[in-house]
Structure 1
Amino acid sequence: MNNVFTYSIFDRLTFEVEQEILEKTILYSDFHYFQSPQFFGVCQNSKKLTPYYILAKADKELVGVLLFFRQVQVTVPMVSFLSSRNIIWGGPIVLGKSMDVMEGLLRFYTKNAPSSIYTQVRNLVDTDKYKALFNKYGFEYEDHLTILVDLTRSEADLWKGVHTKRRNQIRRAEKEGCFVEQPHSIEALQACYSILQEVYQRAKLPLPDFSHFESLLHQSDERSGLRLFTVIWEGKIIGCMLCLAHGDWLFDYYAGAYSHFYKKYPNDLLPWAVFCWARKNGFRYFDFGGAGKPDVPYGVREYKKQFGGELVCYGRYERHSYPKLFVLAKFSLLLWRKLKFNLNLSKVFTGK
C-alpha cells in the first residue's frame, strides 16, 4: 500500500462526487450503518444535523473513512453554539486497521472539523489498539457499556437466556391479544413517533425531530436502513422498536411504549419478537444499545440484561474543544430541558 495518504472533507454540497465510490466499495469487515453513505443521507435530510465525511486515500484507493455529524439541540441564536456537538458513531474505520491512516484521520479531523463545544466518539467495537492515538489528539476515554445478543444461537437457546419474569410477561402479552407487526408506512412511523415523544418527555431527554426518522425510512432499502416493529393491541399501536440494519448487524435505535399500556407488556414482547425475526432473516448480531456506565445504577441496563446477551464495554471518547464553555453548556442544557419539560407539561394540562 502506498504510504502517502491524502485526506479530504466533504459536506452535503460536495459529497456527491465521492458517493458512488463509497457505495460500490465494501471497505472493511467492521464497516457499518453509522459510517455508511445511507446514514450520511439521513443526517443530510434531518433538522439540527449537518453531516461530513472525511475520506483517506492512497493514490485513488479509499483506505479510511470518518463520518461525523454536527448536532445542535437549541436553534435559538447566540445559544445554539452552546448546544452544539460533533458525533462520530462507530468510527473512524480504516483498511487493514492501519495505525498511520487512523492517525491521519484524527489529525485531519482536529484541524478541519467545524467548531463545536465537544466531540463524542461512540464506539461499536473494541478500540484499545487506537486508544493512545485518540489520547494524543485530545480524546479522553470513558467506560460505557452495551449488550450484544448472539443471533447465531438456536431459538431455544435464546429463549433460555431470557429471564423467567420476562418469559412470563411475553406469554402474558400474547394472552392479552398483543402481537408484533413490521409496517413500512409513514403513518405507522408517525404513530411510533408519538409514542417516543411521550417516552422521552417523561424521561426529560431530547428526541430528534420527526424529519430524522422520516429520512431513515426514505433512505432504507432491502440491504440496510430502518426496520420498524410495532406492538398491536385491539387495532392500536401501543409500543414500538426502531432498529437499524446493516450487513450481519441489527441495532436497537429507539424504542418505547405508552405508559398506560404497560400492563399489556409491549416492552417485553418487542425484544423477543425482534430477536426471532432477525435470526430468521440472517442477522448474526443484535446490538441492544447503550447500557450506561459501569458501577452507576441504570434501570435500562437491568431491563436489557434480562433478555440475555453479553455485557461488553467498548467505551466512548470525548474531546472538549472549549472546556469552560463545555461546563456552561452542560448546565445550560440541563436548565433548558427542565424548562422545556415544564412548558410541555403545562400545555398538557391547559390544552394550549
Structure 2
Amino acid sequence: MEIIELTSADLNAWDERALTVPEITNYQLSAVLHHPTSSLDGFSPIYLIAKENDCVVGQTILLVGCDLNRSFADSFAFPFLKKLLNHLFPTHRLLYGPIIFKRSNYYQILEAFVKYLDTHTFPSSVSVRNIMPPIHDTELDHEKTRAIYEKHGFTSRKWGSFITQVDGDIEDLWRKIGKESRSKVRKAKKQGVSIIEVTDIDNLKRYYRMSLTLSKRNGLPSKAWNAFLHCHTDPNTKIFLSVQNGITISGQMALTAGKILILGAVTTSDYAVQHKVPGNDLMQWHVLEWAHNNGYHSVDSVGVSPDPSNQTSKEAGIYNFKKRWGGELVCYYSFSKVYNNFQHSLREKSKLAIKAGPKKIKNAFNLIKKNRIKIFPVDRILSATSHDGISFQRDTNVCIETKYTMRPEMFYFPDVRILPNGNLEMFFHVSRKIRGKWKGTISYATLDKNSNWSVHSNLKSNTNFLAGFQHVQAPRIVEFCDETLLYFCARKEIKAPFFAFVMSKSTSGEFSDPRPLLFDFKHQVEDFCFYRSNNTLRMYFCYKRNIHSAVSENGLSWKMEDGARIQRGQPGMTARVDNPSIVEAKDGLLRLYYRGAEKNALHCCIYSAISENGLDFSIEDGIRMNYNGKYERHGVGFPNVIKLGDTWKMFYTGYWGKHLLEPYTIFKWS
C-alpha cells in the first residue's frame, strides 16, 4: 500500500468514490473548492489517495493557507496580504478525513495517511490545527484514532457534536426533539415568525448586519463582508433567516454537499434577545425539516464542549441548546501539531494583535481625528484675516477639509463672494483619487451662523456638460453684463489640455448654457481671476510661468494684452508665479495676490503686487502668507482675497499639514 499525492485530480471520479460512504461531508468533496476558505482566503487543495494493488482504498482532501487571511478580507490590500500571509504562515487543514473505503484494514490505512502527512506534507507548514476525523462514521473507534495520531507526536483535544438523524419519519423526528424545543417552535409560529431563504443581496446584508451586532454583543471581532458574499455565491451553501413582521430575528448557514448537513454561522438579533422571540428555535426545527425533505441522512450542529463538569457558562449554554434537538452526542478527538515554533509563536502573537486590533485601531483613529492628524498628505482650504491687506493672521478654524482618512479629498481654487443677504458662498475645486486616477470637479459651500463652512454638493447645473470631463477646476463667479457667470477650466483626461468655459446662472439658481472662451492666443489657460471695470472684464492668468492679462467686452472673446503683469525671477518666485487673485485696495489701487514658487509646490508662498491701472504692478516687500502654519507644512497657494467691511479676508489652500507619512512626502517632493 502506498500514499500518493496527486498533481491533479479527476474531481468527478473523486466525488463518485467519496459518495459511496455515508459519512462524507462538504469538506471531503470537490465542493470545498467553492467554500470561502478556498475561493476567498486562497487556501490551496492537496489530494492524497491510498492505493493497494492498483485499487484506491482511501482518499483525503486537505487545504493549505493562512488562517489570518480572513481578518483582512475587506481590506483594499487583501489580494497582496493574502499572498504574503499564505507564504509566511502556511497552515494545513484536514476536516472530516481521511475517508477510507476498505473497512477491514481501516486503521492500517489511517496510520499510513498519518505517517505520510507527518513526514511529507505537514513539515512544509507552520502547523496543522484541529484535524477532525470523519466523526459521522458510526463505526469509528475514536480511541484507536487518538492512539495513531499521538504515536506520531500530535496532541489531542476532546470535543463533541450533537448529530441528529433525519432520514426517518418526520413525526418521529418531531417527538425526538425536546419538549422545550417543541414549545418554543409553536410559540414562534404563533408570534408570526417565518423562515425565508436568502437569495438576494438585500437579505444577505440583513444577515450580515445581524452578525455584526452579535459580534459586538459577544465582544468578538467582526466578520468580513466579503466572506458572506462568497458564501452567498457558493452553490453548496444555504442561508436562512427567521423574520417577524419584517424584522430579522435569527440566521443560519448550512453546507449542503454530501448526505450530512453541516450547520454554522448562527446569529440572533438584538431585537430577538430583548423581546425574547424564539426565532432561533424555529430556525433549528426548520433546518431539520428541510434536511429531511431533501434526503439528508443527518444534521450536524457542530461543536460543543462534551464534559458538563468542565464547561464555562457560555459552553454550557451552547451545550444545553444543541442538546434539545434530538441529536446524539458524538465525542471525538481533534489533533494538532506545530512544525515551526518560531513562525507559530509569531502567528499566535499576530492573532492576539488582530483580535485586539479593532478597538486599538478605532482609538488610534479617534486620536488622529481629534488632533486633525492624517495618514497621508492633505490639502485644505484655510483662511486668514488682515486689517491692511498686507499682514495676515491665520484664522483658527479650517474652512474645508476632507472627512476621509485613507483616501482623502484635496481642495483648491477657493472663490468666495458675498451674497445679497450678507452671507458668504464659496465655490471650490475638489479632487479625489479613484481607481488610481485623480478626478476633480466643482463644489460649493456656505458659511453658517456658527462660522462653519457647510459643503452642500457638487455644482448645481441643469446640464450634463461637466460630467464629460475628468478634471474641472478654477471656478470663478463674476457679475458682468447683468448676468451671474461661472468661469472654469476643464479637460477630458489628466494629460489632456485644458479648455476654458463660462456658464450663466438661471433664475432657478442653476448654471446652464456652457460656452467656450475664445482667445486670440494659443496658450492654454488653466487658472485665472477677473476684475470688472466699467464695461470691460480683465482676466489675469498664468502664461509661460508669468502672470499675464487679457480683456473682453462680452465675456467670451478675449484679447491678450502686451507684456507680463508679474514676472517670475525674484527670490521666492524664480520658478513660476501663478494663482492670481485681485482686489481693490485703498485709494483706488488694485492689489494682486499670487503664488510664487522656487521649484515646485514645495515651500511656495503667497506674495502681492500693487497697481494704479491694473496693468503695471510693483511687487510689494515681504510675504503675505508663508508655510509655517499648522496645516501648511508643505506650502500655500490659490489665494482668494475679498474685502469684508474694514478687513480683508484671504482664503487659500494649505498643503499637507501634519501627517504620519510626512518624512516620506518631504523626501518625495524635495
* TM-score higher than 0.5: yes
Q: Which residue does 1:258 correspond to in 2? A: 269
Q: Tell me by how many angstroms 1:155 deviates.
A: 3.7
**Greater helix share, 1 or 2?**
1
Q: C-alpha separation between the residues in 1 aligned to 2:46 and 2:38?
A: 9
2:131 to 118, 121, 130: 121
Q: Which residue does 1:280 correspond to in 2? A: 293
- Judged with a 3 Å threshold, the aligned counterparts in structure 2 of structure 1 residues 189 and 116 are, in CA distance, closer, same or farther, namely farther
Q: Which residue does 2:33 correspond to in 1? A: 40
Q: C-alpha separation between the residues in 2 aligned to 1:147 and 1:289?
A: 7
Cα RMSD for the two superposed structures:
3.4
- Judged with a 3 Å threshold, the aligned counterparts in structure 2 of structure 1 residues 184 and 20 are, in CA distance, closer, same or farther, namely same
Which amino acid is 2:4 matched to?
Y
Aligned partners of 1:72 and 1:81 also within 8 Å: no
Q: Which residue does 1:108 correspond to in 2? A: 116
Q: Which residue does 1:67 correspond to in 2? A: 61
Most deviating of 290-299 and 152-161: 152-161
Which amino acid is 2:121 matched to?
N
Q: Which 5+ residue runs of structure 1 have no aligned equivalent?
A: none
Aligned partners of 1:47 and 1:209 also within 8 Å: no
Q: Which residue does 2:328 correspond to in 1? A: 310
1:239 to 240, 244, 250: 250
Most deviating of 146-155 and 184-193: 184-193
The within-5 A match list for 1:73-84 is 73-74=68-69
Most deviating of 267-276 and 95-104: 95-104
- Judged with a 3 Å threshold, the aligned counterparts in structure 2 of structure 1 residues 347 and 234 are, in CA distance, closer, same or farther, namely farther
Aligned partners of 1:47 and 1:211 also within 8 Å: no
Q: C-alpha separation between the residues in 1 aligned to 2:53 and 2:230?
A: 34
Asked if 1:340 corresponds to 2:358, the answer is yes
**Greater strand share, 1 or 2?**
2
Deviations 1:76-125 (A, max 9, x none): 69887886532211111122143343233222222224412343212341
1:136 to 151, 172, 175: 151
- Judged with a 3 Å threshold, the aligned counterparts in structure 2 of structure 1 residues 62 and 250 are, in CA distance, closer, same or farther, namely same
Q: Tell me by how many angstroms 1:282 deviates.
A: 2.2
2:100 to 61, 72, 94: 94
1:147 to 153, 158, 162: 162
The within-5 A match list for 1:174-253 is 174-205=189-220, 209-220=224-235, 225-253=236-264
Structure 1 length-normalised TM: 0.81
Q: Which 5+ residue runs of structure 2 have no aligned equivalent?
A: 73-80, 370-402, 405-670
Deviations 1:265-311 (A, max 9, x none): 22121101211222232223111110125222312112211233222
- Judged with a 3 Å threshold, the aligned counterparts in structure 2 of structure 1 residues 260 and 50 are, in CA distance, closer, same or farther, namely farther
Q: 1:103 aligns to what SS in structure 2?
A: helix
Q: C-alpha separation between the residues in 2 aligned to 1:170 and 1:345?
A: 43
Q: 1:90 aligns to what SS in structure 2?
A: coil
Q: Tell me by how many angstroms 1:8 deviates.
A: 1.0
Deviations 1:32-76 (A, max 9, x none): 211111113423312253333223334654332222223321566
Q: Tell me by how many angstroms 1:250 deviates.
A: 1.3
Q: 1:246 aligns to what SS in structure 2?
A: coil
Aligned partners of 1:32 and 1:246 also within 8 Å: yes
Q: 2:23 aligns to what SS in structure 1?
A: coil
Q: C-alpha separation between the residues in 2 aligned to 1:86 and 1:204?
A: 28
Q: C-alpha separation between the residues in 1 aligned to 2:264 and 2:110?
A: 27
Greater relative contact order: 1 or 2 (C-alpha under 8 angstroms, separation 6 or more)?
A: 1
Q: C-alpha separation between the residues in 2 aligned to 1:300 and 1:121?
A: 22
Task: Please say which structure displays the higher CA radius of gyration.
Answer: 2
Aligned partners of 2:22 and 2:259 also within 8 Å: no
Which amino acid is 2:68 matched to?
Q
Q: 1:289 aligns to what SS in structure 2?
A: coil
Asked if 1:23 corresponds to 2:15, the answer is yes
Q: How many residues align?
A: 339
Aligned partners of 1:106 and 1:134 also within 8 Å: yes
2:91 to 79, 85, 96: 85
